[in-house]
Amino acid sequence: MKMLRRSFIQGCLTLGAAPCAPTVVACTKDTPARSPLGALEPDPEGILELPAGYRYVVLEQSGDEMSDGHPVGERPDGMACFEGEDGQWILMRNHEVDVGSSDPDVAYDPNMVGGVSRVVVDKASLTRKSSNYVLLGTARNCAGGQSPWGWLTCEESEDARHGYVFLCDIDAEQVAKPQRAPSLGRFKHEAAAVDPETSIIYLTEDQRKSAFYRHVPDTGPFAGKLQALKVHGQPRLPLSEGLSIGDQFKVEWVQVADPEGQDQTCAEQAFERGAAEINRGEGCWFFDGSVFFVSTEGGPRGLGQVFRLDPKHDTLTLIAQAEDEDALVNPDNITVSPAGEVYVVEDNDGPNHIRRIGPDGAVETFARNVLNEGKSELCGVCFSPDGSVMFVNIQEEGLTLAISGPFVRG
């Protein structure tokens, strides 16, 4: 276990900003129970090393035939797991590919082969019951987010007709009509996270100078205003530079007048109004009133940062930051288990890991990719609704895994 700089709790106590709200990584006396972690054990299959007591199964691999006759797509990326019926979970899974050829009768753009597939998993046996595509013809479906309305899949693209968020029905048993949400902006989207009480959608952007956005609904969840985060009194503050764990800022929001970016990109509009700069915003997750998001190349060595936004108090706090390669290297997707444990996966030259971030700002290693020297990124990390199973993808080899073990359940 490697401590990242100074304690986050100590940092909150020494700041005079708005109080921290009780949540996962927060200033509270009581911290949630934590899943046991020990030394990683060798994997005889040579795929993923885990601590004692944990095991994985392979649900699918790119090229396998799905129930709808399509082969499983390449480069599986962002995912979320939804409650299904009759002892089933529904896993929604992105595929981060772009130029190719799709079925013109069902594809959003027949020149693109990105999309979303759906995997129905039996809870008891952790086996695949069925799988199918629900969206085809999109570009570089990277991450996304779960929502009360279904799976939000995000295009990491600025090509013509692309760079949007699409809503996918978790019950669709075949490719469905694309449901595009232009009000959420057209840019290199990465991830989305929804506050179920307000229907505000928080969005990250995967560029080295990117903004952090929110969509405030008006007449419906996908009709409203797009806004960007600004640090109060510090226009265009570069959040990747000169910060320490526990640093906290008061924030406000500025308008992005043209979310489709016809004359100026969304980021250009945001920066003109003083929005803060993020170095490659990637993973984003909502839990218990807070939004957690990742800056993949932020921090003093460009190895990554993790922030927590408290919307009720309009505060932003740096909760983790990589300052050497022994702790954390380029975090990407992020999730919070139903029990309140924060996990991130890495995207670097390898080996790539699944890391857990503790309430004290410490980072622990939960898993290591050892397949092909671990060079492939881990992505799509998420939990089953009851917290008993973690799902994750190994992208280049096209593997979707289900990990079970002594996770603390929510």
Tens digit of each residue's pLDDT (9 = 90 or more) over 156-179: 999 999 999 999 999 999 999 999
Instruction: Indicate the average pLDDT of the chain.
Output: 91
pLDDT greater than 60 at residue 14: no
- CATH number of this structure's domain 2-19+39-404, picked from the four choices 3.40.367.20, 2.40.10.220, 2.60.120.380, 2.120.10.30: 2.120.10.30
Whether 6 has a pLDDT exceeding 50, the answer reads no
Q: 199-235 burial, b for 16+ CB within 10 Å, e for fewer?
A: bbbbbbbbbeebbbbbbeeeeebbebebbbbbbeeee
Q: What pLDDT score was predicted for residue 102?
A: 76
The percentage of residues in the chain with a pLDDT greater than 90, rounded to a whole number, is: 86
The H-or-E segment that residue 307 falls in is strand 305-310
Domain layout of the chain by residue ranges: 2-19+39-404
Percent of the chain at pLDDT above 70?
A: 92
**pLDDT surpassing 80 at residue 11:** no
Looking at the predicted structure, is the pLDDT value of residue 4 above 70? no
What is the model's pLDDT at position 190? 98
Confidence (pLDDT) at 29: 32
> Residue 399: pLDDT above 90?
yes
Instruction: Look at 63-77, 98-112, 343-357, 365-379 and tell me which has the smallest mean pLDDT.
Output: 98-112
Give the pLDDT score at 188: 98
- Collapsed DSSP state (helix, strand, coil) of residue 190: strand
The predicted pLDDT at position 104 comes to 83
Instruction: Give the model confidence (pLDDT) of 223-236 as tens digits.
Output: 999 999 999 999 99
Whether 30 has a pLDDT exceeding 60, the answer reads: no
Count CB atoms within 10 A of the CB of residue 402: 22
- Counting other chains too, the contacts that 154-160 makes at CB distance below 8 Å and 24 or more residues apart are 154/78, 154/94, 154/189, 154/190, 154/191, 154/192, 154/203, 155/114, 155/189, 156/96, 156/188, 156/189, 156/190, 156/206, 157/98, 157/188, 158/186, 158/187, 158/188, 158/265, 159/98
pTM to 2 decimal places: 0.92
Question: Residues 187-213: what's their mean pLDDT?
Answer: 97
- Per-residue pLDDT for 99 more than 50? yes
Give pLDDT tens digits for 146-156: 999 999 999 99
Work out the average pLDDT over 111-128.
Answer: 97
State yes or no: pLDDT of 33 exceeds 90: no
Residue with the bigger pLDDT between 33 and 29: it is 33
- Work out the pLDDT band at 48, boundaries 50, 70, 90: very high
Question: Region 235-241: what's the mean pLDDT?
Answer: 96
What pLDDT does 32 receive? 62
Indicate if the pLDDT at residue 7 is higher than 60: no
